[in-house]
Structure 1
């Protein structure tokens, strides 16, 4: 099954081409690091009001995909 992560974007013009949330300068790695140090979803959203719950969920899904090498389509990814 192909899962589309439509909130994760990769654009060479934004944040040096790192995977970001919805084209903003908020990299997926930032959200994952915040989760890793124990921040809750609510705390992250409080700190970054432009972030939505679904953004955080897709960051986790993206990390899981990287760990498992599952097929996934990333919005804005260039081949």
Structure 2
């Protein structure tokens, strides 16, 4: 999946956050909803400007970021 067909960033829109082209929906928002337990069907239902392909692009974009050295591991929590 070539996510560049679906995701863009513009410093004048959403402070430059990566977003789905033609929308003001950031990849961060989409991934956040999924992380909160929303199903893809719920995301698509609540954001009708999204498509299955744009959701797939958000996943592909996130996957590519995870494969770069730009991602840092979370600190380990301290034992209670």
Does the TM-score normalized on the shorter chain lie above 0.5?
A: yes
Q: Cα deviation per residue 1:42-71 (whole Å; 9 max; x = unaligned)?
A: 1001100111111111111111111102xx
**Which structure has the larger Rg?**
2
Instruction: Specify the SS of the correspondent of 1:5.
Output: helix
What is the aligned partner in structure 1 of residue 62 from structure 2?
63
Ranked by relative contact order (alpha carbons within 8 Å, sequence separation 6 or more), the top structure is 1
What is the aligned partner in structure 1 of residue 33 from structure 2?
34
Structure 1 unmatched ranges of 5 or more: 70-79
What is the aligned partner in structure 2 of residue 75 from structure 1?
none
- Structure 1 segments, 4+ long, off by >6 Å, are none
Structure 1 length as normaliser, TM-score? 0.78
Structure 2 length as normaliser, TM-score? 0.77
Structure 2 unmatched ranges of 5 or more: 69-80
